[in-house]
Amino acid sequence: MRKLVFESQLLVVPVFMLLWMTLLVLAPVSEQLVTPSKSMISLQFPWTVFFQGESMDLTCKGFSSHSPQTTKWYLGREELKNRASTLNVHQSGDYKCQADDLPESNTVHLDFSKASLILQGPLDVFEGESVRLRCRARAKTELNTLVFYKNNEALILPNNSPELHINGANLEHNGEYHCAGYKETCCEASSNTVRIQVQVLFPRPVLRTSSNKPTEGSPLTLTCETQVPPQRSHVQLQFRFLRNSQTLGSGWSSSPGLQIPAMWREDSGFYSCQAKTLTLDEIGARPWKERSASISLPAEHSGNYYCTADNGYGPQRSEAVRLSIIKRFSPILYKFYHEYIPLGSSSTPSAGGASFGFSVTAEHSGKYYCTAENSFSSSQRSEAVSLSVLVPVSRPILTCRSPRAQTVVGDVIELHCETLRGSPPILYKFYHEDVMLESSTTHSRRGTSFRVSLTAEHSGNYFCEASNGVQTQRSDTMTLSVTIPVSRPVLTLRAPREQTVEGDMVELYCEALRGSPPILYNFYHEDVTLGSSTAPSGGGMSFRFSLTAKHSGNYFCEASNGVQTQRSNTMTLSVTIPVSRPVLTLRAPREQTVEGDMVELYCEALRGSPPIQYKFYHEDITLGSSTAPSGGGASFNLSLTAEHSGNYSCVADNALEIQHSEVVTLNVTVPVSHPVLTLRTPRAQAVVGDEVELHCEALRGSSPILYWFYHEDVTLGNSLAPSGGGASFHLSLTAEHSGNYSCEADNGLGAQRSEAVTLFITGLTESRSGPVASGITGGLLSGVSLVAAALLLHSWFSRKAGQQAASDPSRCSSGSNPQDPTYHNVPGWVELQPVYMNGEDQRHPALAGPKGWCGKDLGLEMRRNYTQTQKV
């Protein structure tokens, strides 16, 4: 591990020199940089990838490395039944543990692979460490070549080593690693990817002080705070403190604290601390001891000797040494050669021959000779003998050469068949599922090739045959999987009804009809990702969601299988919204609606997809309907009559839902019509003393109605009809009550006056009848005078009445009720006497009052009539 050094600085100034500065730069010892205690998993082997069928042990412990009393194990989110601190695992997945009551450990992902080639790497890597990546082939799988890759770039390693070593890891070594090689009997094999992410071994230290207000002469403790991760708790750190770049104390130490017994003025300055890891030399690593071996041989073991050494990383062989042991006698030494290459030797007594036997191989074809020599003569050479060895073909090897690790439709691959042994010529044949594709003859052992442009039908098993007339051999079967790029996917919408409605659960289904699995599907709404799903065995995938108004818009999906990414056509989804409960509003020209007003009924549903049809109702009777093609509300205009009072409502309908508004009550106020005044008397001719009922009634008008009664425009009284109808006023007749009567009806919308009705009262009092009966002559003269005066007064009243009728026929004309006696223009006279009160000339209530509706003071007219009558 390389040495790592970090430094922290702090300015310390005694309080008596610059107290305010200490508040800015001195930090008291507070929260320590200590990782909270939690559970931790340690691995039996420093790898996270294994072959299927292998297993390893996981051990759960706390950071203090103690053995927990209780342990919980988790695979994914599922809690395992094992409660031991060590768990033997052989299944891929994410493992976690919890030791005692400590927090759960970090997740450890293990992969037990079915692949023929795997790359094993460490769980985590910290800076400065040595890293070993090991490329392993499954048992009985042999590779011709082995190459390591970093970020898909090949790394050159010596001797085709199955291991990649990284010394002193740093950020430059971050990346994705994998290995690949060619199988002897098949094609290229590629391993999994191992991601190396070098982590910081320990953070930059923080220098803290024991006091934020040091005083002269007081002690001060400096603490250099940092910490190695729990996974590397065995790493030792060294600390050093400095003032103004000068080392304090004894220099590097394993203690993170420095005690200054007393701070003085001269101790002011810049303080800093450093932390570093120990190197192997500093830890005290020892070299391996060298060892040797020896052997003793008897004399008869002459020949070539070598030795091997193995330290667990593979045997190494020494150079061969030839050992010749000479006996005391001088035998004949025979040596055998093949093409000048020594094959062997044999020693015999002074006479006789020698033999050399061997098993013939293809390499043994050629010329052979031997030599003989002894101590008495030099070496003698024999004649050469030629040997021709016909070699049967060995089992051929079929390999696949493709432009990429994963073969794709359209790629041009090369199938190469080669036998390592066999006498030429050699006939090669290529087969796909027992169907011969090609044959070719070669006159060497270098093999032959066959090129194929791949289609989906080319997936399957391949083999080749080699034959040289001596023997026919078949290669191992090679399986070729041709990856098919995904076709353009088709996006369909599955909904519970033809028209999608807010709140419906809909399903987007995306499917690529062609393409090798696994296929990753992504769903989009207006270029915003909704979600993704993988179809491991091909086919399509779905995405479900509940519709809201915001889901209207364009949708599409993408399909990808690592070879190609295809996008579907865009599909537009219109989410129909049922209408909400409409609101009915009455728009009138005034607060109180009056008969004849034009009112507008306005109905509007605040939510709902158009078109919306609105219907208007009055007491469950349809008034009319209107359609809002683009949404919004609709109106219905109504000219009010008395019959329009009542309850109104409206209905909104957009073919999805029908909603009724709340009921709105409309009260139509009807102005009163001209009332009819009727005089009801007990006899046909009213007489002084009779009880007369004045009855006034307006046939139309909203209640309540207030009725006013008038005699010659002088108010007699009023009466209220709360529920409509007429009202009466009773009057006991006196002589002054002759004259015109009328009434008014008012319900707050304008008063209406009835036509005038004239009442004549007959009969004289006893005080006037006595003198008349006292003499005939006087009575006649008086009678003639009275008749003349009556005729004159009648003529004047008639003329007056005609003038009044001409000036205002609606208010000055008389009317009658056929059911009651009606009095008008009767030639009977009643003496009208003025009434004097409090010494002043006060008008009788019947003579006083407002101006008449004909523009004259009726009380004044009646007094004038009375005066003229007296004169007559």
**pLDDT by residue (tens digit) across 579-618?**
999 999 999 998 888 988 999 999 999 999 999 999 999 9
What pLDDT does residue 730 have?
93
Give the model's pLDDT for residue 249: 81
> Residue 22: what are its φ and ψ, rounded to 5°?
-65, -30
Better-predicted residue by pLDDT, 798 or 746 = 746
Give the mean pLDDT of 396-410.
89
Read off the pLDDT of residues 47-65 as tens digits, 9 standing for 90 and up. Answer: 999 999 999 999 998 765 5
Mean pLDDT of 848-870: 38
The token duo for 358 is 């061997």
- Considering 19-33, 148-162, 214-228, 275-289, the range whose residues carry the highest mean pLDDT is 214-228
Q: What is the pLDDT of residue 65?
A: 53
Q: What is the pLDDT of residue 817?
A: 40
How sure is the predictor about 496, in pLDDT bands with cuts at 50, 70 and 90? very high
Of the chain, the percentage scoring pLDDT greater than 90 comes to 42
Question: Which has the higher per-residue pLDDT, 369 or 182?
Answer: 369
**With contact defined as beta carbons under 8 Å apart, do 50 and 112 qualify?**
yes
CA dihedral for 515, 517, 523, 527, sign (positive or negative): negative
- Using pLDDT thresholds of 50, 70 and 90, give the confidence band for residue 795: very low
Residue 856 has pLDDT above 50, yes or no: no
Q: Is the pLDDT of residue 872 over 70?
A: no
pLDDT of residue 305: 67
C-alpha 562 chain-centroid distance = 26
Given this model, what pLDDT does residue 315 score?
Answer: 57
Distances (CA, A) of 569 to 488, 495, 515, 552: 8, 19, 18, 16
Q: Is the pLDDT of residue 389 over 60?
A: yes
pLDDT in tens, 38-50: 888 889 888 999 9
Number of continuous H segments (helices) and E segments (strands) in the chain:
6, 68
Does the pLDDT of residue 435 top 50, yes or no? yes
What is the pLDDT, as a whole number, of residue 309? Answer: 63
Say what the pLDDT of residue 862 is. 37
- pLDDT range class, residue 777, cuts 50, 70, 90: very low
**Is residue 255 scored above 50 in pLDDT?**
yes
Structure token pair of residue 464: 């080749």
Cα distances (Å, whole numbers) of residue 203 to 171, 199, 722: 15, 10, 95
Residue 576 DSSP label: B
Contact partners, residue 813, CB within 8 Å, separation at least 6: 755, 756, 805
Q: What is the mean pLDDT of residues 656-663?
A: 92
Whole-model pTM: value is 0.38
Q: What is the pLDDT of residues 286-314, one digit of tens each?
A: 433 343 344 444 445 556 666 766 544 44
